[in-house]
């Protein structure tokens, strides 16, 4: 670690976490993932038999699981896309992180849509979400275990790198319920 740098500590529970460190990285940084269930300063006798301090926790539960990555983005980027199909429509939630208002249109395209969507880019900066609703094609093949039938959905805008996600459509219903 650089001698002038202070470590950045963050305690998180067992959930998905994204850390935005724009402006903190210098190019001379070390990234350290520390997973430790010790409790400095806590009274040992009060917690030694609790599950949080047991040997099983320290050896079996303590760790980092799943998808870990570092991702570098431009100053303006599409940070996420969530797709919620329902009743012949789809709600698309686009998360954006922009230092300026991009020019032009925000575009959503997919072979699953009856027609692609274009809307003026919001007059916003910072981190925000845009929601768009669109009609699904009636002949769209439904998702199933055997074939998947996932379809791509791409969001793009002038000055931003496009981002694509894949989603499936499936209907659940209760028949004969009162």
Report the percentage of the chain scoring pLDDT > 70. 73
Please, which pLDDT band fits residue 1 given cuts at 50, 70 and 90? very low
Same domain, 95 and 156: yes
Backbone conformation region of residue 111, classed left if phi is above 0, alpha if psi is from -120 to 50, else beta: alpha
- Would the pLDDT of 15 be above 80? no
Q: Which residues span the domain enclosing 158?
A: 77-167
- Between residues 13 and 25, the one the model is more confident about: 25
pLDDT single digits (tens) 85-144:
988 999 999 999 999 988 889 999 999 999 999 999 888 899 999 999 999 999 999 888
Same domain, 97 and 150: yes
Same domain, 163 and 82: yes
How high is the pLDDT of residue 16? 64
Q: How far apart are CA 150 and CA 153, in angstroms?
A: 10
| Model confidence pTM above 0.75 | no
Same domain, 155 and 102: yes
Residue 177 resides in a domain? no
- Would the pLDDT of 45 be above 90? no
Domain boundary among 41, 72, 103: 72
Please, which pLDDT band fits residue 50 given cuts at 50, 70 and 90? low
Number of domains composing the chain: 2
Domain CATH number, residue 101: 2.60.40.10
How high is the pLDDT of residue 113? 97
Same domain, 58 and 3: yes
Q: Average pLDDT in the 148-170 region?
A: 92
Q: How far apart are CA 80 and CA 41, in angstroms?
A: 40
Question: What are the E-state strand segments in the chain?
Answer: 77-86, 89-98, 105-109, 117-120, 126-135, 151-157, 160-167
Q: Which of 80-89, 135-144, 168-177 has the lowest mean pLDDT?
A: 168-177
Domain boundary among 15, 40, 72: 72
Residue 176 resides in a domain? no
The 8-class DSSP code of residue 51 comes to G
How high is the pLDDT of residue 27? 81
How high is the pLDDT of residue 19? 73
Contact 112, 137 (CB under 8 A): yes
How high is the pLDDT of residue 155? 97
**Pairing state of beta strands 151-157 and 77-86?**
unpaired
């Amino acid at each position: 670690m650089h001698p002038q740098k202070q470590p950045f500590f963050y305690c998180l529970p067992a959930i998905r976490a994204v850390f935005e460190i724009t402006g903190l990285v210098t190019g001379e940084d070390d990234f350290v993932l520390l997973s430790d269930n010790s409790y400095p300063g806590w009274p040992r006798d009060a917690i030694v038999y609790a599950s949080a301090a047991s040997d099983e926790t320290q050896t079996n539960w303590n760790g980092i699981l799943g998808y870990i990555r570092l991702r570098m983005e431009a100053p303006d980027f599409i940070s996420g896309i969530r797709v919620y199909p329902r009743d012949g429509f789809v709600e698309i939630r686009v998360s954006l992180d922009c230092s300026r208002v991009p020019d032009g249109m925000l575009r959503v395209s997919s072979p699953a849509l009856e027609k692609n969507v274009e809307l003026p880019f919001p007059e916003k900066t910072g981190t925000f979400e845009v929601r768009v609703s669109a009609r699904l094609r009636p002949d769209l093949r439904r998702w199933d275990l055997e074939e998947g039938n996932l379809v791509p959905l791409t969001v793009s805008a002038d000055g931003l790198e496009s981002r694509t996600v894949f989603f499936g459509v499936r209907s659940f219903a209760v028949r004969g319920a009162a």
